[in-house]
Structures are given as C-alpha cells and as structure tokens.
Amino acid sequence: MQRKIVVLGTGGTIAGRSDVAGANVGYTAGQIGVEQLLAAIPGLQRAAGGSLVAEQIAQIDSKDMDFDVWARLAQRCAAHLADPLVAGIVITHGTDTLEETAWLLANVLDAAKPVVLTCAMRPATALVPDGPQNLLDAVALAAEPTARGVLMVAAGVVHGAREVAKVHPLRLDAFDSGDTGPLGWVEAGQVRWAHGRAPQAAQPRHAGLLPVLGRGPWPRVEIVLSHAGSDGLLVDWLVQGGVGGIVVAATGNGTLHQALEAALARAVAAGVAVRVASRCPQGRMLDLHAAAWQDADGLSPVKARVSLMLELLSVGR
C-alpha cells in the first residue's frame, strides 16, 4: 500500500489572514484550515512521494499554546507514528512557541520516523508568503528516508528540537541553532545533511508520560530572571502561591544576584524544584557544583521549564 505523510495543523501565522491585501503584519493567526493550506501548494503531493493526510489539531496563535493542545498533539503524533503506512509527520505551528513544542515532543515521542515542525513569518495572505515553501520543505524532509526524530525546518534550514530557537521577531530566517549550527538544509526538494549523514534521534526521556498527558493538571513551573537589582520577592511570592518549580534565567555562567540566590535557597527549603539556565543566547554555561539546585543541562530557560514540568509530572504519577 502507498505510504503517506500526515500533516497536523495547529494554526499560527502560516495559517494567518490579514484584512489588508498583501500585508506582512497586522494579521490574525490561525484562520485558514490545514487542508486549505495544502490544497494551495503545487507539487506538495510529489514532494510527499505518496498520499497526504491532513488533520486539524487546533487553530490558535502559538503565543496562546496551552497544555491541552500539547497533550492532543503529542498523542495524535504517537498514534500516527504507530501506523506502518505513515512515513513521517509534519506539524504546522506558530513561531512564538514552536521551540517549546518541539522540545516537549522530543521528550515524549519515540520518533523513529521524522516529526517535522514548520511555520511562517508572514501570513498566508501576504504579498509573498513564506509558508508555502516552508511547508513544501517540511513535507520533503518528512518523506526523507534517512530522517528521524523531532526536527524543524524554515527558510530552507533544518534544526534539531534541542537547539532550535526563535532569534528574530520579523525576518524570514528567524530561527537559529546557536553554536551547534543547523542539522542540514532542504535545497530544491532535496535534504542535505550538514555532516553528510542524518543525525540519530535521541531516546525520549519521558515517553512513559504520553498516555497520561491531559488527564490532570500540569505542575506549575515559572521562569524568573536574574537582573540588576533583583530582590527575590517574586520567588517568595511564587512559593507562597504553591509553585512546583522555578527556572532561573541567570546572568553569564549561571551567576545569580545575591538577594535572588537567597530567595531560591528558601524556595528549595520549602520543597520547590529549582533549575538554573543562562539568559545568554549563545554558548553553554558550565555545570554547577556544590549548589542547592541543578543546572539546566544547557537548555534555554523556556526549554528547561518544559523539562522540569515533565520531571515533576513523572514524580507525581
């Protein structure tokens, strides 16, 4: 039987519409259904190398991504990955929280096949929208026999779920993988891997959580920034409010304002899990030693928050 690529729609700018013809900004995200998006792109069926199946998971602006959508998306991905006829999955997503969704999926999906997120910086009604090419590239990547794991492609560049981050609010190539660089590129419908071969997919750390996602509340984990004049009062307030975990976006190599550090020590004493990440967009802070909390294992603050939520969910099962 013919193999298929499944395209899961969640909304975002790629499905956005503006009342002003040709406008790049001032649009409303998540207005066009995924089936309509697919129907408007010539050559998509050819890039898939088989049939295309569309499924609408959500229709939201990704700034409003929530736990319920995450749970539905992860579970539908798992169901399709288990289908032997499915060669790969494409997810259309907004740019604002794409990196968080990618990291969540990488932690809960056993993805021996490619799960490819893509997006757009311009709405579908723009004079020159970037979504169609990104979606075409995503389908080509999902159909690539050597691809596996959770990936992201935009502006022709392939990124991994752990490294990818949105680094610019407007330009078309808004995503970057920092010091590690991209995994590859999609060029004229062909995938070229950066190191001559496809990267191996990492084993998911929390695959056991997949069946229970969405069955109850997620742990409350907040991000706190260390900055000049930090006083730690926000941490104390979060602890009083019952927060389960705190991720700190620390200065430099994991350094913390002394008042904030004291407040975090009080939080740990109260049973709150604390992780420390760097607020620097490039590089990786050294491992923490002799601290009352753990470092974020090189993750950005937003991805460290995803990891800590999953850790707390695992403990609470």
Q: What is the Cα–Cα distance from 285 to 262, expressed in whole angstroms?
A: 21
CB 291, CB 256: distance < 8 Å: no
Strands 51-60 and 4-11: parallel
Q: What is the Cα–Cα distance from 78 to 88, expressed in whole angstroms?
A: 11
Q: Is the pTM of this model over 0.85?
A: yes
Q: What is the Cα–Cα distance from 21 to 302, expressed in whole angstroms?
A: 35
- C-alpha separations of 71 from 139, 210, 256, 308 in Å: 23, 8, 34, 16
Q: What mean pLDDT do residues 205-231 have?
A: 94
* pLDDT number for residue 1: 65
Is the pLDDT assigned to residue 214 strictly greater than 90? no
Q: What is the Cα–Cα distance from 203 to 13, expressed in whole angstroms?
A: 31
* pLDDT number for residue 19: 85
Which of 10, 13, 125, 251 is flagged as catalytic? 13
* pLDDT number for residue 289: 81
Is the pLDDT assigned to residue 181 strictly greater than 70? yes
118 given a catalytic annotation: no
Beta-strand runs (E) in the chain = 4-11, 51-60, 86-92, 114-118, 149-154, 157-160, 165-166, 175-176, 184-187, 190-193, 221-225, 245-250, 273-278, 294-295
Q: What domains sit in the chain, N to C, each tagged with a CATH number?
A: 4-193 (3.40.50.1170), 218-316 (3.40.50.40)
DSSP code per residue over 122-176: S-TTBSS-SHHHHHHHHHHHHT-TT--EEEEEETTEEEETTT-EE--SSSSS-EE
Q: How many CB atoms within 10 Å of residue 71?
A: 19
Q: In this predicted model, what pLDDT tens digit does every residue of 279-292 receive, in sequence order? A: 999 999 988 887 88
The one-character DSSP state at 255 is: B
Q: What is the mean pLDDT of the chain?
A: 95
Q: Give CA angle at 70 (47, 170), nearest 5°.
A: 65
* pLDDT number for residue 4: 96
77 by DSSP, 3-state: which? Answer: helix
CA 28 to chain centre: 21
Strands 190-193 and 86-92: unpaired
* pLDDT number for residue 124: 93
Amino acid present at 232: G
* pLDDT number for residue 163: 96
> Which residue reads 């992201």 in tokens?
152
Q: How many CB atoms within 10 Å of residue 6?
A: 25
Q: In this predicted model, what pLDDT tens digit does every residue of 113-157 receive, in sequence order? A: 999 999 999 999 999 999 999 999 999 999 999 999 999 999 999
* pLDDT number for residue 317: 60
The contacts of residue 211 (CB under 8 Å, 6+ apart) are none
